[in-house]
Amino acid sequence: MHELSMADAIVKTVIESAEKNDAIEVQEVTVEIGQMTMLNPEQIMFMVEILSEDTILKGAKFNMEEIPIEIKCESCNFEGKIDFEGIDHYAPIINCPACEGRELSITAGRECNVKNIKIEQREEDAQDS
């Protein structure tokens, strides 16, 4: 259960960027979470909302975007996303969907990326930047 520390890092990252850009309000935050992380986006959402209270983020809309797992197969050089439909969550890490090979490297799906924010700036600050 490390969603709390992740949520804390997300909130700190956003506040730092918002302050640097002279925001008076943060309206939206977009975070990308890889499907291969041990993170539950709903729990992160719950905790960032709690941690946002009494900060410039209060009331901001959080968009959680899930990043699909992508692999590269060392045997057949297959590169691409894994389709989760109808299979166990982690089954894809076992075999390559193209050649069933097991020598795979994971190229996407391990992110917890604060992608962007939408902020309200004072007009004079906005002109300066």
Partner 1 sequence: MHKIAEVEIQHDIMVANRKLAQKNQKILDNSNVFGVDVLGAIGSGKTSLIEQLIQEIKYPVAVIAGDVISKFDAGRFEQYDVPVIGLNTGKECHLDAHLVEHAFHDLPLDEVDILFIENVGNLICPVDFDLGAHMRMVVISVSEGDDTVEKHPLIFKDADLVVINKIDIAEAVGADSDKMVSDVLKLNPDVQVIKTSLKTGEGFKEIMEALEKAKNE
- Cα separation of 121 and 96, whole Å? 48
Out of 50, 76, 99, 126, the residue judged to bind partner 1 by CB under 8 A: 126
| Residue 79 C-beta: closest distance to partner 1, Å | 18
Position 38 contacts partner 1 (CB under 8 A): yes
3-state secondary structure at position 24: strand
Contact 93, 65 (CB under 8 A): no
Q: Which stretch binds partner 1 (CB under 8 A): 5-13, 51-59, 77-85?
A: 5-13
- Cα separation of 77 and 34, whole Å? 22
Position 87 contacts partner 1 (CB under 8 A): no
Out of 58, 84, 90, 108, the residue judged to bind partner 1 by CB under 8 A: 90
Q: Which amino acid is at 75?
A: S
Out of 15, 60, 73, 112, the residue judged to bind partner 1 by CB under 8 A: 112
Q: Which is nearer to partner 1, 21 or 98 (CB)?
A: 21
Position 58 contacts partner 1 (CB under 8 A): no
Sign, Cα dihedral of 78, 82, 87, 91: positive
Sign, Cα dihedral of 50, 53, 55, 56: positive
- Cα separation of 88 and 56, whole Å? 40
Q: What residue ranges bind partner 1 (CB under 8 A)?
A: 1-2, 4-6, 9-10, 13-14, 17-18, 21, 23-24, 27, 34, 36-39, 90, 93-94, 102-103, 110-123, 126, 129
